[in-house]
Structure 1
Amino acid sequence: MNNNKLSVLFLIDRTKQNKQNKCPIKCRLTFKGKRKQFSTGFFINPKDWKSKLQKGSPPNKNNNYINTQLSLIKQQINQAFLFLQVNNEQFDAEDIYLQLKGITRKKDKTILEVFQAHNDKVEKLIGKEYVLPTLWKYKQAKALLKDFISFHYKKNDFQFKDLEISFIKEYEFYLKTEKKLAQSSTYKAIQRFKRIVKIGLSEGYLDKDPFVMYTCKNPKTQIVYLDSNELAKLEEHSFAQTRLKQVRDMFIFCCYTGLAYAEMSALSSEHVIDGFDGNKWIKIHRKKTNVKVSVPLLPKALAILTSQNNISSNKLLPVISNQKFNSFLKEIAEIVGIEKRLTHHIARKTFATTVLLYNDVPMEVVSELLGHSKLDITQKHYAKVVQKKVSEHITLLARKLDK
């Protein structure tokens, strides 16, 4: 079958008869393996429709009129088809229909044009579906793509219809060599570009997905956290300097609450409430995902919160910049003898692993307490931790069964 040949087929829809028991006549265009079906606006008695002849029979006033109109529609379709052949390099069945109806053919879109339209929508949905950091990441991804198109193709933009797998491969190479991005950053940039390509596919700006035969390795990051011995060593150490003790206590507080730096810094009295169980709870929105988080205050966290209450600024914890906080943590790790590179984020990882998962708290509860938008995010990050815990349980079970 020649895909470049236009096929015009009239057919009736027997499932939609009107009050006069007549069926609508539809027209189906097939070109380059794709179809476009639309209503002709005419109805006929199903007994009178001769599919092989593509007309109504026997001859009568109504059938003759319908046959004339269908012939006229087919003639107009062929004229639209010839017009597109002469004036356009590429078009599909949808374009033929639009030309037939006198509607402006869908415009060939460029990659950066669609990327910008996507970012504009994200910006309008800040606070509703997205948070500001998400917009920043997509703006950065668009800027990287723009630089690549300028560098590699010496153009200001690139047509979606010309997009092929070679473009993506060259883009990955460019990110690693010219931009010197790490594998994780390269992967994220390409994943954001992939989202734009999906939009292009759904809108019909390109015919096939160039990502089908492409794979970008997603680096598996190792979860760094404090084990129970390291956490105890940190808790028990007596610091001579007040600033180090203060930072240590704030870090420990986050080890027992899972609060990220942004939430720790913003924590005020309005975020601490009396829970349904009679205990104190923290209720706060995560700035990264805008998800509401409810975390029960464990005794150690509550004790630290009480001792460090900074009433003068209405903050429950001292305000220290993230850079200084991590600088102090580096100093604390050297003093205590912890070889791991200590950062604030490790407190959140310690909460999820040593405090929760290693104490048999279910994964779905961990996900809820961390404020993850989806359970699979938690599972993806902490799968190995769970495997280790399962191994420990099986070892204990084996010992019991062996007795």
Structure 2
Amino acid sequence: MSHSLTILFFLRTSKTNPTTGEAPVYIRMTVASQRAEISAKRSVLPSRWEGGAGKVKGTKEDARTLNTYLDTLRAKLNKQFNQLLSGDEPVTAELLKNAFLNKVAPSKSIMEVLDYHNAQVAARVGTDYAPATLRRYRVGLKKVKLFMKQQYQRTDMPLDQLNRRFITEFEHFLKTVEGIQHNTAMNYIKYLKKTVLLALSYEWLDKNPFVGIKHSIREVTREFLSTEELARMVEKPFSIRRLDEVRDIFVFSCYTGYAYADVLKLTPDHILTGINGKKWIMTQRIKTETRSNVPLLPPALAILAKYAQDPECLAKERLLPVKSNQKMNAYLKEVADMCGITKPLTFHIARHTFATTVTLTNGVPIETVSSMLGHKNLRTTQIYAKVVEHKVGEDMDRLEERLAKPAVPTNSLRELSA
């Protein structure tokens, strides 16, 4: 960190008073190539200002008075700067500005803001946030802490040091040192941005370091079960109870589109009669806080009937005996092996299967699918439509290959034409 201070007095002509014609005098402080500006609380006619020298022209009384005042400000700034240098905290232009204006330097640190944000989310789990969201934010906090420890040899830093360079280097750290894929890294960046916006709203931070920084999510191929794979899983008998239950819950999600967190919360009160006189599930998605009303297809109804008198479900007032997400995904791997499914099965694949194999592939309009999935934006659902289009393309390519092969041997064609 450079220990030099440059002070420049200049006119801010963009703020010229239309009545008097005078422009305000501003002070620009530069420390280690970083700038901060404050008003000198004085104004002067631009014609009387000597820009190169940073003072008022002439020797008249008012000119001498104003120039003396500016010299006093320069001396005070230099004194304040030297006092800050004697402290332990790195001196920045913004720190000097705050100290000179008798403001308390930002007392919040990066970790304090992240902790504050996560504590607010923790208090609203079950109402506004899902437990998985809190877990993701806590992992994000750990990633930021690891980054600061490696990059700056510190476990915390002043909030005003969270700048554009910090963000860029954090992304680099996630992708190289942590080996995290692009989209996952973007989720951690979004978490950091969310806490920055919180700090700005509470005026703990003066500037938004994310201004001008764009981060985009890359499209990924959504894995889902084909019709044949889904049928294989439905028809597979299981002698182990836990695997039978996990298979049933997974298949239920394949026919309703509900994510793990939503299936976990389902109670008998969520089963209502829909506009068509049949049974529907009517609930609100935890993740997006949107309505997700889904008519119950026969396979889903059969699974609910199977567990209607299950002791565990009755005791917990739940529709299905859902295990922890970790156990569900672990058991699903066993289910996949026993069904001969080689895809890396996770519970969320059931939601993808509902969107593609069960609905879109069978001609259900995308607007209807979007409503049942509880998506806020149709563009989110269009990701699945692209997957279906890709599958259609592959099927048509295979058809084209079959059609290209002669149905009758060439010699036979010659004989027929003779």
Same fold (TM over 0.5): yes
Q: Which residue is 1:6 aligned to? A: 6
1:133 equivalenced with 2:137 (yes/no): no
Q: CA deviation at 1:41?
A: 2.3
Aligned length: 382
Q: What amino acid maps onto 2:119 in structure 1?
A: D
Q: What are the equivalent positions in structure 2 for 1:115-194 lying under 5 Å apart?
A: 115-124=114-123, 126=125, 130-142=129-141, 157-159=155-157, 188=184, 192=188
Q: What amino acid maps onto 1:17 in structure 2?
A: N
Q: Per-residue CA shift, 1:146-172, capped at 9, x if unaligned? A: 68988x89x883557699899988888
Q: CA deviation at 1:257?
A: 0.7
SS at match of 2:83: helix
Structure 1 length normalisation: TM-score? 0.66
Q: Which residue is 2:24 aligned to? A: 25
Give the whole-Å Cα distance in 1 for the aligned partners of 2:5 and 2:137. 42
> Would the aligned equivalents of 1:248 and 1:332 in 2 still touch at CA under 8 Å?
yes
Cα distance change, pair 237–93 in 1 and its aligned pair in 2 (3 A): closer
Give the whole-Å Cα distance in 1 for the aligned partners of 2:392 and 2:267. 35
> Would the aligned equivalents of 1:24 and 1:41 in 2 still touch at CA under 8 Å?
no
Q: What amino acid maps onto 1:253 in structure 2?
A: F
Q: What are the equivalent positions in structure 2 for 1:3-402 lying under 5 Å apart?
A: 4=4, 6-17=6-17, 20-31=19-30, 32-46=32-46, 48-52=48-52, 54-56=54-56, 63-85=63-85, 87=87, 90-106=90-106, 109=109, 112-124=111-123, 126=125, 130-142=129-141, 157-159=155-157, 188=184, 192=188, 195-196=191-192, 199=196, 223-235=222-234, 250-275=249-274, 280-287=279-286, 289-301=287-299, 303-304=301-302, 307-308=305-306, 310=308, 313=314, 317-321=319-323, 344-361=347-364, 366-372=369-375, 384-392=387-395
> Would the aligned equivalents of 1:250 and 1:317 in 2 still touch at CA under 8 Å?
no
Give the whole-Å Cα distance in 2 for the aligned partners of 1:332 and 1:39. 70
Q: CA deviation at 1:336?
A: 6.2
- My pick for the range that moved more, 257-266 or 335-344, is 335-344
SS at match of 2:392: helix
> Would the aligned equivalents of 1:292 and 1:371 in 2 still touch at CA under 8 Å?
yes
> Would the aligned equivalents of 2:25 and 2:40 in 1 still touch at CA under 8 Å?
yes
Cα RMSD after superposing both structures: 5.5
Q: CA deviation at 1:352?
A: 1.9
Where structure 2 has 5 or more consecutive residues not aligned to the other structure, the ranges are 404-418
Cα distance change, pair 263–65 in 1 and its aligned pair in 2 (3 A): same
Give the whole-Å Cα distance in 2 for the aligned partners of 1:55 and 1:91. 27
Give the whole-Å Cα distance in 2 for the aligned partners of 1:256 and 1:355. 7
Give the whole-Å Cα distance in 1 for the aligned partners of 2:147 and 2:56. 59
> Would the aligned equivalents of 2:255 and 2:300 in 1 still touch at CA under 8 Å?
no
Q: Which residue is 1:179 aligned to? A: none
> Would the aligned equivalents of 2:147 and 2:170 in 1 still touch at CA under 8 Å?
no
Cα distance change, pair 358–86 in 1 and its aligned pair in 2 (3 A): same
Q: CA deviation at 1:286?
A: 3.1
Give the whole-Å Cα distance in 1 for the aligned partners of 2:53 and 2:337. 89
Q: What amino acid maps onto 1:294 in structure 2?
A: S
Q: What amino acid maps onto 1:292 in structure 2?
A: T
Q: Per-residue CA shift, 1:2-61, capped at 9, x if unaligned? A: 99550312214444526x435451313141333322222223445554545544466666
Cα distance change, pair 45–294 in 1 and its aligned pair in 2 (3 A): same
Q: CA deviation at 1:244?
A: 8.1
- My pick for the range that moved more, 270-279 or 159-168, is 159-168
Give the whole-Å Cα distance in 1 for the aligned partners of 2:242 and 2:299. 18
Give the whole-Å Cα distance in 2 for the aligned partners of 1:94 and 1:242. 64
Where structure 1 has 5 or more consecutive residues not aligned to the other structure, the ranges are 177-182, 213-217
Structure 2 length normalisation: TM-score? 0.64
Q: What amino acid maps onto 1:29 in structure 2?
A: R
- My pick for the range that moved more, 47-56 or 331-340, is 331-340
Q: What amino acid maps onto 1:92 in structure 2?
A: T
